[in-house]
């Protein structure tokens, strides 16, 4: 890759960010299409997010991805927010149009495409058991609610967080039954597993270096699917166990890929070379 005075700069803001696969994914896409662009990672401390956003205008950085812990705190520093990002209360992509900064959220579209292509899941009318109530869970909730899910059960270790998330989305999507439950209420968890078309893990349980979630997967509805947002390791204990029991299951690499492809298209106006990007991150 040749860096010139005309090279357009893109990147990612996060803390930490050294583990990110986004640079290799986007640089492979730029190279495949012959674009004079480069993508780099910026480790931004939480208290510096305002200064970092201003640097986009000052330095003419054309676009940026946003990851933990900045997805919510960046919003007050932007000029405009797209409707999907406003619903989620989180931004993961920023486009710079001559100093005007617009925030988007491609996690929703990335998740939808991943579950549809990897697992054959159609959100319409589906029954969902969602593990977790944090930022990633909001993307999953938004995806299913905006596409007509029938019922969503939000299970979280801290019940109050599950209640808050369920109440917030329940007010906006009154036709969908949204129920909070404590993760340690095994009786209810088993009942919801038996009724769900898809189980989604949005927590960090099972990530490299972290203990896997202990779920009674034998109670899961026949023909139900399992999606784990974690992509390191490629196959989490949850995915392994689900497949052992005969369920369709996938890790989160597809969501990473497709949300990245959507960001690429927002920035460049070009169709993302998804196969190239997939090969790069695999």
Q: In what order do the strands lie in the sheet with 93-97?
A: 37-43, 8-14, 63-66, 93-97, 100-104, 80-81
Cα–Cα distance measured from residue 12 to residue 161, given in angstroms and rounded to the nearest whole number: 28
Number of other CB atoms surrounding residue 266 within 10 Å:
17
Interstrand relation of 248-250 and 100-104 (parallel, antiparallel or unpaired): unpaired
C-alpha of 47 from chain center: 23
SS3 81: strand
Active-site entry in 4, 8, 62, 71: 71
* β-pair type (127-131, 8-14): unpaired
Cis peptide bond prior to 83, omega within 30° of 0? no
How far is Cα 199 from Cα 203, in angstroms, rounded to an integer? 12
In the residue annotation, 71 being an active-site residue is answered as yes
Structure tokens of 51?
């200064």
DSSP 176: S
With a CB cutoff of 8 Å and minimum separation 6, the contacts of 201 are 131, 132, 213, 226, 227, 228, 229, 230, 236, 238
Measured distance between the N- and C-terminal CA atoms of the chain, rounded to whole angstroms: 20
- On whether the CB atoms of residues 133 and 122 are closer than 8 A, the answer is no
Measured CA to CA, the distance from residue 176 to residue 196 in angstroms comes to: 14
For the chain, what is the radius of gyration of the CA atoms?
19
The residues carrying an active-site annotation are: 71
């Amino acid at each position: 890759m040749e860096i010139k005075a005309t090279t357009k700069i893109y990147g990612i803001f996060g803390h930490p960010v050294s583990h990110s696969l986004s640079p290799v994914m986007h640089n492979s896409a730029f190279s495949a299409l012959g674009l004079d662009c480069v993508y780099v990672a910026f480790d931004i401390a939480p208290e510096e997010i305002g200064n970092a956003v201003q640097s986009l205008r000052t330095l003419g950085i054309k676009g940026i991805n946003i990851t933990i812990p900045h997805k919510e705190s960046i919003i007050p520093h932007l000029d405009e927010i797209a409707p999907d990002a406003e619903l989620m209360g989180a931004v993961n992509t920023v486009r710079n149009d001559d100093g005007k900064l617009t925030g988007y959220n491609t996690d929703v579209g990335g998740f939808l495409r991943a579950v549809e292509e990897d697992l054959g899941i159609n959100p319409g009318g589906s029954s969902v058991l969602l593990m977790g109530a944090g930022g990633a869970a909001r993307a999953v909730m938004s995806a299913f609610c905006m596409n007509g899910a029938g019922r969503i059960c939000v299970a979280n270790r801290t019940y109050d967080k599950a209640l808050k998330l369920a109440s917030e989305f329940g007010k906006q999507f009154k036709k969908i039954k949204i129920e909070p439950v404590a993760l340690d209420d095994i009786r209810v968890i088993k009942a919801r597993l038996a009724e769900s078309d898809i189980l989604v893990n949005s927590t960090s349980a099972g990530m490299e270096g972290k203990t896997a979630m202990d779920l009674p997967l034998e109670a899961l509805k026949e023909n139900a699917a399992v999606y784990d947002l974690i992509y390191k390791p490629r196959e989490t204990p949850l995915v392994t166990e689900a497949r052992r029991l005969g369920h369709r299951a996938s890790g989160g690499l597809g969501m990473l890929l497709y949300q990245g492809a959507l960001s690429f298209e927002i920035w460049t106006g070009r169709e993302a070379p998804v196969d190239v990007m997939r090969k790069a991150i695999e």
